[in-house]
């Protein structure tokens, strides 16, 4: 049974994180999105660097499957997407207004409101690595950097949830368990 799919084209440290937390995860390539060959899942994770050709080739498959993402989200799936690691990026394949600007820095995070997705970081007492910020969004801002720029947002869409972040650290075990248990199993 696949609860979480990791979109990437080569082995990644994310997979080890799932093993350490005893969570099932299946790595899939983006060109398989929207095909009948993928089993349903609850959540899709897209790691840092997905739009940078120095790291991966999955960007085109993601960008060509906006309808698959919309359907997945409407039916209760969750999408967690990290920073694309390019100078500027517009998430046109997601049903959210979101523009990313790349700028690496270690920063204290400012909590904005309360949401379970904020469990992505366990300890807010220390600065956190971020690879950029969101210059535009119509999502709910959850964390800001020390310059008051959004670094994590969520947006409900249908019965699902988009979680976008520029936090450049592995998500906590609590966060991974939450996304595994919160999404509704559906086809992507």
Kindly report the CATH number assigned to the domain that includes residue 142. 3.40.50.880
- Whether the per-residue pLDDT at 110 is higher than 90: the answer is yes
Note whether residue 105 is domain-resident: yes
Domain interval for residue 163: 4-182
Residue (of 50, 29, 28) closest to 100 by Cα position:
50
Note whether residue 187 is domain-resident: no
- Whether the per-residue pLDDT at 1 is higher than 80: the answer is no
Write out pLDDT tens, residues 42-85.
999 999 999 999 999 999 999 999 999 999 999 999 999 999 99
Note whether residue 160 is domain-resident: yes
Note whether residue 13 is domain-resident: yes
Write out pLDDT tens, residues 124-172.
999 999 999 999 999 999 999 999 999 999 999 999 999 999 999 999 9
Note whether residue 174 is domain-resident: yes
State the pTM of this model: 0.96
- Whether the per-residue pLDDT at 5 is higher than 80: the answer is yes
- Whether the per-residue pLDDT at 13 is higher than 90: the answer is no
Note whether residue 157 is domain-resident: yes
Note whether residue 63 is domain-resident: yes
Count the domains in the chain.
1
Note whether residue 188 is domain-resident: no
DSSP for 152-188 reads: EEEEEETTEEEEEE-B-SPPPHHHHHHHHHHSPPB--
- Whether the per-residue pLDDT at 175 is higher than 80: the answer is yes
Write out pLDDT tens, residues 20-29.
888 889 999 9
Token code pair at residue 49: 């660097």
Whether the CB-CB separation of 151 and 144 falls below 8 Å is answered with yes
């Amino acid at each position: 049974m696949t609860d979480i799919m990791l979109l990437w084209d080569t082995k990644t440290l994310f997979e080890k994180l799932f093993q350490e937390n005893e969570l099932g995860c299946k790595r899939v390539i983006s060109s398989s999105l929207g095909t009948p060959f993928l089993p349903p899942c609850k959540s899709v994770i897209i790691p840092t660097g997905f739009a940078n050709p120095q790291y991966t080739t999955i960007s085109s498959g993601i960008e060509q499957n906006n309808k698959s993402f919309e359907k997945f989200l409407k039916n209760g799936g969750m999408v967690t997407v990290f920073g694309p690691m390019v100078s500027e990026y517009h998430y046109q394949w997601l049903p959210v207004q979101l523009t990313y600007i790349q700028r690496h820095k270690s920063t204290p995070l400012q909590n904005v409101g309360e949401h379970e997705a904020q469990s992505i970081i366990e300890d807010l007492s220390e600065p956190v690595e971020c690879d950029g910020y969101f210059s535009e969004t119509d999502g709910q801002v959850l964390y800001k950097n020390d310059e008051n720029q959004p670094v994590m947002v969520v947006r409900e869409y249908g019965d699902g949830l988009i979680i976008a972040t520029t936090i450049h650290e592995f998500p906590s075990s609590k966060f991974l368990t939450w996304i595994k248990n919160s999404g509704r199993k559906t086809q992507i």
